[in-house]
């Protein structure tokens, strides 16, 4: 029997780039906070067993959104952990809060609260490919635009090769103990890793790149939010017809 996987969902950012009072993960989309859409997308996969949501200390928005019924969301257990100053610190707190029956060599997923448009096929692909890899895997997409290096004056200094360059998405999938060690190590070294794979790479490990859908975008700006709302409304329309 395939063992289920738990997910750590970092949701403790204050989202300064988005520019709204309410952190983006709590913004209302079709009557529920964005975070609820993200959990729904994750829990739609039968092999996802539960989630640790990492929220800010004394996060009034988390308390106010009241997503859980008897500690569950869509029938699956959700635990809350308190976030840290950086994304990596938040993820580490989340991994430490995973239930004891998640073993040291079990794979766990880490998925941004701000990526609500994750598809089932992508989760399946990541789980299938990741389980075959010793280290684990991440969803990502090859860079398709031409890359320019800017000078201080905003002029183009150079055109960079895009060959072999990928954009890292989430979920990212690693073994519990290795991920813990990698995040602790980066923290001790004072290096701010911007995703979990970067922490693993620092230890000389080489996670697999699994090509995922561009639809799994991160909500960073109001335009991203509008795009997600549009996609949702289209889905709802097609369900009605
Ligand atoms: O800021 P960015 O969009 O890269 O954040 C990615 C995810 O990490 C978001 O879901 C955000 O809430 C989370 N995060 C966190 N703790 C931090 C910073 C970001 O949980 N200190």
Query: What 3 state SS string does 36-100 have?
Result: HHHHHHHHCCCCEEEEEEEECCCCHHHHHHCCCECCEECCEEEEEEECCCCHHHHHHHHHHCCCC
Picking from 135, 117, 139, 113, the residue whose alpha carbon sits closest to that of residue 126 is: 139
Retrieve residue 123's tokens.
Answer: 């989760």
The model's pTM is 0.96
Q: How far apart are the first and last CA of the chain?
A: 38
Q: pLDDT digits over 84-128, tens only?
A: 999 999 999 999 999 999 999 999 999 999 999 999 999 999 999
Atom of ligand 1 nearest to the CA of 114: 10
Which pLDDT belongs to residue 24?
93
Please state, as a whole number, how many other Cβ atoms lie within 10 Å of the Cβ of residue 131: 15
How many angstroms separate the alpha carbon of residue 159 from the centre of ligand 1?
30
Instruction: Look at residue 20 in the predicted model and tell me its pLDDT.
Output: 83
Question: What's the CA-to-centroid distance between 238 and ligand 1, angstroms?
Answer: 32
Helices 176-189 and 87-96: crossing angle in degrees, nearest 10, is 140
Q: Do residues 193 and 172 touch, judged by C-beta distance below 8 A?
A: no
The CATH number given to 5-138+168-240 is 3.90.550.10
Domain ranges in the chain? Answer: 5-138+168-240
Q: What is the mean pLDDT of residues 51-60?
A: 94
Q: How far is the CA of 240 from the centre of ligand 1 (A)?
A: 35
Best substitution site from 8, 114, 170, 196 to test ligand 1's pocket, by max atoms within 8 Å of Cβ?
114
For the chain, what is the mean pLDDT?
Answer: 96
Residue 117: other Cβ atoms inside 10 A: 21
Q: Could you tell me the distance, in angstroms and rounded to a whole number, from the CA of residue 108 to the centre of ligand 1?
A: 18
Distance CA 234, CA 82 (A): 35
CA 94 to ligand 1 center in whole angstroms = 12
Name the residue with higher pLDDT: 16 or 72.
72
Expressed in angstroms and rounded, the spacing between residue 196 Cα and the centre of ligand 1 is 12
Give residue ranges with CB within 6 A of ligand 1: 10-13, 25, 54, 83-87, 90, 112-114, 218, 220
How many CB atoms lie under 10 A from the CB of residue 138?
Answer: 26
Q: Is the confidence at residue 236, as pLDDT, over 90? A: no
What distance in Å separates the CA atoms of residue 169 and residue 116, rounded to the nearest whole number? 12
Instruction: Tell me the Ramachandran region of residue 62: left when phi exceeds 0, alpha when psi lies from -120 to 50, beta otherwise.
Output: alpha
Q: What is the position in ligand 1's atom list of the atom closest to the CA of 15?
A: 1
Q: Which residues pair with 29 in a beta bridge?
A: 32
- Note the pLDDT of residue 21: 83
Q: Checking phi first, is residue 30 left (phi over 0); if not, alpha (psi -120 to 50) or beta?
A: left
In this structure, what token pair is assigned to residue 28? 């209302």
CA angle 210, 213, 217 (to 5 degrees): 110
């Amino acid at each position: 029997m395939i063992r289920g996987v738990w997910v750590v969902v970092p949701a403790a950012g204050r989202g300064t780039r988005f520019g709204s009072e309410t952190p983006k993960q709590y913004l209302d989309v079709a009557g529920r906070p964005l975070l609820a859409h993200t959990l729904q997308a994750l829990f739609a996969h039968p092999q996802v067993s539960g989630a640790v949501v990492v929220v800010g200390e004394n996060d009034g928005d988390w308390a106010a959104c009241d997503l859980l019924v008897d500690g569950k969301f869509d029938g699956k257990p959700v635990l809350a952990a308190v976030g840290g100053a950086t994304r990596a610190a938040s993820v580490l707190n989340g991994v430490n809060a995973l239930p004891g029956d998640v073993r040291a060599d079990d794979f766990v997923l880490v998925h941004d609260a701000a990526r609500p448009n994750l598809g089932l096929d992508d989760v399946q692909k990541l789980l299938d490919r990741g389980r075959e890899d010793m280290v684990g895997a991440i969803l990502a997409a090859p860079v398709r635009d031409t890359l320019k290096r800017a000078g201080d004056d905003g002029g183009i200094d150079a055109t960079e090769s895009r060959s072999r360059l990928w954009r890292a998405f989430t979920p990212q999938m690693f073994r519990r103990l290795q991920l813990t060690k990698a995040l602790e190590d980066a923290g001790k070294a004072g290096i701010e890793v911007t995703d979990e794979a970067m922490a693993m790479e620092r230890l000389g490990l080489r996670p697999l790149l699994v090509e995922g859908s561009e639809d799994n975008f991160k909500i960073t700006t109001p335009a991203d939010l509008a795009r997600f709302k549009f996609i949702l409304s289209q889905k709802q329309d097609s369900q009605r017809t």
